[in-house]
A and B are shown apart, each in its own frame.
Chain A
Amino acid sequence: MDMMNRRNHIDIPEFYVGSVLAVSSSNPHAPEKVTRFVGICIQRGGCGLRAFFIIRNVVDHQGVEMFYEMYSPVIQKIEVLRLEKRLDNELLYLRDALPEYSTFPLDMEPEYLPEGSAIPVNPIKVKLKPRPWLERWERQELKGVQDLGLPKRFYERAAAVAKPWEKYDLMAEYRESIPAEEQEEIFAEVYSQLHQLEVTRKIMKRKRTFVKPKKMG
């Protein structure tokens, strides 16, 4: 209910881990009271009003990450500059990757996709910096990284420590997820409102593109 109320005031667009976002949030110490941060979404989590996402960018050769709660009233605008997915669910390995993979220009223009097309999956393979890393990336099944180039003992230890049976654990999977029938029930409750929001969003989009010609002189 509260989430719907917030969505009535602010348009929270659809985005995934790997999309490039620009978030404008209110900041009392900024000259214009608004801070705009551009970056790639590396993680999404939380549930309900605590839902959060983390945005990463490299500014002045310094990696910066911003943590935003989606339903916080501090956030004024969320724009999706590039809507795409990556091969992994979490891109935390970008912290140990070369900075070029995390840099995005702060004045990036939004890239539009044709309406109704599938979300593109970026098959990029990121190159990591040499060890030491923040996490043992060889022990996680990461698809979006190039060959890590570690000595054999790392991979042997990873195989020894690995728990391959967890992949097939049907009941654990079920307990953590929401079954399809329940998802449909939940969605049916909010569908009508969300549909209206989408319709108004489309109307607003079209309204903005029309710019009245200004008199010169």
Chain B
Amino acid sequence: MNQADVSKLMSRLKIKYSPVKRKLKNSEGPVGRAKKIQKTLTALIKHERIELNFNRADETRGYVERLISDAIRYGDCHRATMELADYWLLEKQLVHKLFKVLVPRFENCPVSYTRMYRAPRPCPGNHFERAVLELRGNPYPSLLPDTISNRNLIHNVLLDEAHKEYRAQKYAEIARKLEAADENVAKSSGDSDGPESSGLETPEEIKASTEAQVASEVQPSACYEGHGRGGSEESRGGTAAGNPSERAGLPLGAILSRASKRRVSQHR
């Protein structure tokens, strides 16, 4: 059987890679294959987004990830890593970029450092699949369509309606609880003037706890994006998450006041 060669410690690749290496059709044999990958790798690190044939992109993706993960693991004071970077990057200023820009960028990145998309081919042309290979956190605008801001897309319409329904349910519950608490308070103040009986929540506590609960449940799930969406992430994050009540279409205060006007105005 094959004994794994564990003399060198390397990080796990976070991408899918083929178990067989592609020869990347070239006339010089394995030397030519290495040269091709060198050129593609250098171009990717230089431009951060390149469009090329699928097989070449897939092959170099593994090499890019390995190079970056080695640079992160060993740093630039490690001779072997520096020799690797020197071999693979044909332009020597990119070695500086690798260690000074890309390593801090991807240090704490739990996902792959590169993204690969399938690209359309010009119709009367070769039958080779095209691909776009890019580094995460590149300064260009995202290639994927923006499915969050446009609330008229069907999935957003459905989600908004679902949110509204959910919030309506929750507010109905709050209203019921407030009315129940109202009655308790009325009863206890009728029986004895003093602190309210323990075990029953005050309307204020109910309001605060349920508001927090609803807000947290309606929050969209955080997905890792890094610096991906060209700087507009914070604003989009604000519009998406900050005003769930507006997305539901009803301000919180109006619903509560409808339920129990008397109690809310007293506490405000």
Contacts and interface: CB of A to CB of B under 8 A. Distances in A.
A178 B6 contact: yes
A1 interface: no
Interface stretch (B7-15, B160-168, B211-219, B235-243): B7-15
B31 A176 contact: no
Interface in B5-42: 5-13, 17, 19, 21, 30-31, 34
B12 A180 contact: yes
A179 B10 contact: yes
Interface of A: 45-48, 50-51, 89, 163, 165-166, 168-183
Nearest to A178: B4
B88 interface: yes
Given A47-B4, A171-B66, A180 B21 contact: no
What is the interface of chain B mostly: helix, strand, loop, or mixed?
Answer: loop
Contacts of B17: 171, 174
B12 A170 contact: no
A91 B62 CA distance: 33
B126 interface: no
B250 interface: no
A168 B70 CA distance: 12
A46 B1 contact: yes
A20 to B, nearest CB: 22
Given A165-B31, A169-B34, A181-B12, A176 B4 contact: yes
A186 to B, nearest CB: 10
Interface of B: 1-13, 17, 19, 21, 30-31, 34, 59, 62-63, 66-67, 70, 83-84, 87-88
Query: Most B CB atoms within 10 A — which of A166, A173, A182?
Result: A173
Contact of A177 (B6, B34, B88): B6
B6 A168 contact: no
Contact of B34 (A45, A50, A168): A168
A186 B83 CA distance: 31
A119 to B, nearest CB: 14
Given A47-B2, A48-B1, A177 B84 contact: no
Given A46-B3, A165-B30, A174 B10 contact: yes
B1 A180 contact: no
Given A168-B88, A170-B66, A172-B21, A177 B10 contact: yes
Nearest to A173: B8
A168 B67 CA distance: 10
B72 to A, nearest CB: 12
A189 to B, nearest CB: 16
Given A46-B1, A173-B66, A177-B10, 20 more contacts: A47-B4, A165-B30, A166-B30, A168-B83, A170-B67, A170-B88, A171-B17, A171-B66, A174-B17, A174-B62, A174-B66, A176-B4, A177-B5, A177-B7, A177-B8, A179-B13, A180-B9, A180-B12, A182-B12, A183-B6
